[in-house]
Chains A and B, each alone.
Chain A
């Protein structure tokens, strides 16, 4: 029994198995001492250092184990690309909040901005907020104009560094711009993970800052985030 167990545990050759057994014997003499077994003080413990000679009881020296992340552990990462229901792929850059609380979305309407204070892909909680221009004078319509036509259940995929996650649209809201800062759930770090896509919509009044509303599309995860770098190892268990 013992032999078989050793083989299956270590899968080792006879010599290394003997070596392991030698270490174990020495270790046991020490470790079992506290359990009521008589330790043999004459037998030096394996790997014992000279400094250990001052100890009252023989001790075993081992390398402390290094903890492993659980196989289910998913790191999180900032989003780098969103694929809209039409299949259009929009690169995502980092966007910070600037003066006056204005989110600094990339000027280039072909790119969107991820709010850097929000959740990341792979997180368990919070809103992953990505905003993109609906249009500009110079570039015309942007890819986020598509958000004005999405409906519940439409699929949106997000890629992050080493991760991807798929979402399904759960709500589309037309939010007056002036009420954005009182609408807590748009940016909240609480609540289950969701994707929040924002673009401009509604009436356009150049004398009052242009578009009066925001289209806020909320999407829930269809599944957990999946690792893309080592997909075979990390993605199979999900």
Chain B
């Protein structure tokens, strides 16, 4: 068992290091800037409560699976998240970067490999406007399962998402039946089908968590308000003024 855990930890750390390598050059910080970013901590580790600190300042203890802590208003620049388990039996730190007026979810979750140690992934929240009557659904794969498709009302809307990846789509407001299945297959459902309600003008973030093998598959949901874009539904369209095609039959029209 320890061997499996060890190997998993290797990959977890490797993944984190790889993430660090792609962050790019450090940008000039603006210490005087009052424009903070909003950061939400999402607890996507199944069956354990954790204590969360940012920059050595304790935010909350006893954070249960599925809980969201935030928004934490943080200065632009680098910050350190510290997470520890019950009675400080384990702990980890992860540094992350906050952009001015940005919004991000910092998610504690299991990586893809079974038996691995927790990892932390930063997801920038897509807060762009959506059409009226529409919500944005965003699905992140943070479960211990291979790449998956997300079916919405039976149709593949999010295809081939691997652990640590995400996909997003604008969907009509309302309740949709969502299931997660192995990529390219209809079954077995790794999760669901479950009813997911997309509220209008709302970002609904869904983190798939757990392991289907031990029945711990679940979702963590985080909702944020979104602005709407575009004008109201037209009542009139006037696209002609000369009468040049007056009375011309529309050949393909059905009656």
Interface residues of A (CB under 8 A from B): 9-10, 20, 23-24, 27-28, 30-37, 49, 51-52, 54-57, 59-73, 76, 96-98, 100-103, 105, 115-119, 123-126, 131-137, 140-141, 144-145, 148-152, 169, 171-174, 177, 180-181, 187-192, 198-204, 206, 209-211, 213-215, 217, 237
Q: Which of B1-48 contact A (CB under 8 A)?
A: 1-2, 5-6, 9-20, 22-23
Question: B2–A32 contact, CB under 8 A?
Answer: yes
**Which of A10, A49, A135, A172 has most chain B Cβ within 10 Å?**
A135
Interchain CA distance A166-B118 in the complex, whole Å: 43
For residue B81, give the distance in angstroms from its CB to the closest CB of chain A: 7
> Which 7 residue pairs of A and B lie closest in terms of their CB atoms, listed nearest first?
A101-B235, A34-B90, A117-B230, A200-B240, A63-B20, A65-B19, A204-B246
* Residues in B whose Cβ lies below 8 Å from that of A199: 239-240
Contact of A97 among B16, B19, B93, B231 (CB under 8 A): B231
Surface stretch bound by A, among B64-72, B160-168, B208-216: B160-168
Question: B247–A204 contact, CB under 8 A?
Answer: yes
Question: A97–B232 contact, CB under 8 A?
Answer: yes
Interchain CA distance A145-B242 in the complex, whole Å: 12
Q: Which of B105-160 contact A (CB under 8 A)?
A: 106, 117, 119-124, 131-134, 140-141, 152, 155, 157-160
| 15 A-B pairs with C-beta separation under 8 A | A34-B85, A51-B80, A61-B93, A63-B96, A65-B120, A70-B159, A97-B232, A102-B238, A103-B234, A105-B238, A125-B134, A133-B241, A136-B242, A148-B251, A171-B254
* CB-CB nearest in chain A for B157: A124
Given contact pairs A124-B169, A149-B251, A152-B252, A31 touches B117 in the complex (Cβ within 8 A) = yes
* Residues in B whose Cβ lies below 8 Å from that of A52: 93
The number of residue pairs between A and B whose CB atoms lie closer than 8 Å in the complex comes to 323
* Residues in B whose Cβ lies below 8 Å from that of A132: 239
Interchain CA distance A194-B121 in the complex, whole Å: 35
Indicate whether B101 reaches chain A with its CB closer than 8 angstroms: no
Question: A210–B90 contact, CB under 8 A?
Answer: no
Question: B171–A69 contact, CB under 8 A?
Answer: no
For residue B179, give the distance in angstroms from its CB to the closest CB of chain A: 16
Question: A210–B243 contact, CB under 8 A?
Answer: yes
Question: A31–B13 contact, CB under 8 A?
Answer: yes
For residue B120, give the distance in angstroms from its CB to the closest CB of chain A: 4
Contact of A105 among B12, B91, B160, B239 (CB under 8 A): B239
Question: A101–B232 contact, CB under 8 A?
Answer: yes
Question: A31–B251 contact, CB under 8 A?
Answer: no
* Residues in A whose Cβ lies below 8 Å from that of B249: 148
Given contact pairs A31-B13, A67-B165, A69-B166, A189 touches B20 in the complex (Cβ within 8 A) = no
Given contact pairs A61-B95, A97-B233, A66 touches B19 in the complex (Cβ within 8 A) = yes
Question: B239–A144 contact, CB under 8 A?
Answer: yes
Q: How many residues of B contact A (CB 8 A)?
A: 91
| Main DSSP-derived SS at the A contact region | mixed
Indicate whether B88 reaches chain A with its CB closer than 8 angstroms: yes
Question: A101–B234 contact, CB under 8 A?
Answer: yes
* Residues in B whose Cβ lies below 8 Å from that of A32: 2, 5-6, 9, 117
Given contact pairs A215-B250, A215-B253, A102 touches B236 in the complex (Cβ within 8 A) = yes
For residue A238, give the distance in angstroms from its CB to the closest CB of chain B: 9
Interchain CA distance A192-B198 in the complex, whole Å: 16
Contact of B170 among A23, A67, A123, A169 (CB under 8 A): A123
* Residues in B whose Cβ lies below 8 Å from that of A57: 84, 88-91
* CB-CB nearest in chain A for B156: A72
Interchain CA distance A119-B159 in the complex, whole Å: 20
For residue A87, give the distance in angstroms from its CB to the closest CB of chain B: 18
Question: B242–A140 contact, CB under 8 A?
Answer: yes
Question: B158–A72 contact, CB under 8 A?
Answer: yes
For residue B160, give the distance in angstroms from its CB to the closest CB of chain A: 5
* CB-CB nearest in chain B for A181: B235
* Residues in A whose Cβ lies below 8 Å from that of B164: 65, 67-68
Question: B168–A73 contact, CB under 8 A?
Answer: yes
* CB-CB nearest in chain B for A10: B14
Known: A33-B89, A97-B232. 20 other contacts (CB 8 A): A10-B14, A28-B6, A51-B56, A59-B93, A62-B16, A67-B121, A70-B161, A70-B166, A101-B232, A102-B234, A115-B234, A124-B171, A125-B172, A131-B237, A149-B251, A171-B254, A172-B250, A181-B235, A206-B243, A211-B240
* Residues in B whose Cβ lies below 8 Å from that of A28: 6, 9-10, 13
Question: B12–A31 contact, CB under 8 A?
Answer: yes
